Amino acid sequence: MLISEIKLEDIDYKTLYCCNSSEEERYIKRFSGLLKGFSDTFGKDGDIRLFSAPGRTEIGGNHTDHQHGRVVAGSLNLDVIGAVRANGENVIRIKSEGFPMDVVSVDSLDADSKEYGKSSGLIRGIVSCFVKKGYKVGGFDAYTTSNVLKGSGMSSSAAFEILVAVIINALFANGEVSAVEMAKFGQYAENVYFGKPCGLLDQTACASGGIVAMDFADNENPVVEKLDFDFAKTGYSLCIIDTGADHANLTDEYASITLEMKMVAEYFGKSFLNEVSEEDFYSEIKNIRSKINNDRAVLRAIHFFNETKRAKTEAEMLKNGDFNGFLRLVNECGRSSYMYLQNIYATKEPKNQAVSLALALCDELLKGKGAFRVHGGGFAGTIQAFVPSDMLNGFKDGIEAVFGEGMCHILSIRSVGGVEIEL
């Protein structure tokens, strides 16, 4: 459809952004800006198609996926959107708002360490996956813009990966590739072409939409179940609180969690904790301590065993409509992350405890209602809170009085993942 023929008021914003009709105007302006960005960059000619891929929120299963455990996650009403036109060439050009244009030849798909950390590497890696599946991928021009908060645990990079995959799937694969398969493509691109080890949680949640329960026992073929649960009807609001803490120089802290959990698994001759019997673990704690000389590793293993079971039960409670039981488990997760996983503040900077402070404020403001927990990787960044709607204004004011205006983000779970937008 030509840009001049696109009627932005006809887009289903309610499904994409969980908004009411009075809020649609700001989304119309956002898409109008997207189309202007495309026409200014690539011109107005040719048929344009629109795409969207959401950020995600981890709801249950803190640091369980890399040990092949269970997770509950949801897609958010924040997304990266793209205006796209096939160009008839063998070149992909993607201009993301505020960044230089990425140019990738579909005739050159080998991984290159020079592209580590660059979005061009992600694009090239995803194209390579489609080609290996037997699809003939051509070129296209795309302009994208994102409101997925960076450094917030909402997986802005995974959202971009899924957007690229959904575009290629629609343009060159007849929509035949499943959401889970596209998630694998994103993970592969991030691991091999971007140079960053990661699990499959982020991409799967962004691709699938809604609330999903994931079991990574078979990491190559994860079990993904979309839960039939309408969060909007609970009377609670989902808040992501940005503490403003700096993520820099935390790589060692994040890596220590995986390393220490693996130390316990290796004691039993296994690669991942999910392969270890919980009964055997508890019977061997004395010997594990003696062998690895690391009590924190033992505590983190305890967190894993409890947390992966918790994620399974959380999914069951949501399916059964037991939201109060779910909230109780969210709080249990938060306590476990603080006490056993210990990913609330960096041990090398014990005076800087913004996440700890945010959790303490939630405890004070909610007064035993709702639930709250660290969100994502931890050590810095964000926490997640489920807040009764009648307490929302006071809660937001109380948080922002300490962390600053705009630091408490009120979000919703959207029902669709990566998608082409109907015009």
pLDDT tens by residue, 198-210: 778 889 999 999 9
Whether residues 188 and 294 fall in one domain = no
Whether residues 222 and 286 fall in one domain = no
Give the pLDDT of residue 156. Answer: 87
Number of domains in the chain: 2
Whether residues 61 and 164 fall in one domain = yes
Whether residues 260 and 204 fall in one domain = no
Whether residues 252 and 185 fall in one domain = no
Whether residues 331 and 394 fall in one domain = yes
Whether residues 95 and 207 fall in one domain = yes
Distance CA 333, CA 373 (A): 7
pTM of the model: 0.89
Residue listed under structure tokens 């140079």: 195
Identity of the residue numbered 154: M
Residue 138 buriedness (CB in 10 A; 0-12 / 13-18 / 19+):
middle
Whether residues 315 and 348 fall in one domain = yes
Identity of the residue numbered 236: Y
Query: Residue 192 carries which DSSP code?
Result: I
Cα-based distances in Å from 209 to 15, 53, 63, 213, 300: 11, 9, 21, 11, 30
Residue 247 buriedness (CB in 10 A; 0-12 / 13-18 / 19+):
middle
CA 203 to chain centre: 7
Task: State the CATH number of the domain containing residue 41.
Answer: 3.30.230.10
Whether residues 172 and 192 fall in one domain = yes
Task: State the CATH number of the domain containing residue 407.
Answer: 3.30.70.890
Number of residues in the chain: 423
Whether residues 195 and 312 fall in one domain = no
- Listed residue (190, 222, 194) closest to 64, CA to CA: 222
Distance CA 361, CA 355 (A): 10
Whether residues 202 and 238 fall in one domain = no
Q: Are 375 and 202 in contact (CB under 8 A)?
A: no
Q: What residue ranges of the chain have pLDDT lower than 50? A: none
Three-state DSSP at 191 gives helix
Q: Residue 95 belongs to what H/E stretch?
A: strand 91-96
Whether residues 159 and 186 fall in one domain = yes
| Domain span including residue 317 | 233-411
Tokens of 67: 């040990």
Count of beta carbons in the 10 Å neighbourhood of residue 105: 13
Q: Are 149 and 78 in contact (CB under 8 A)?
A: yes
Cα-based distances in Å from 215 to 178, 225, 373: 17, 9, 21
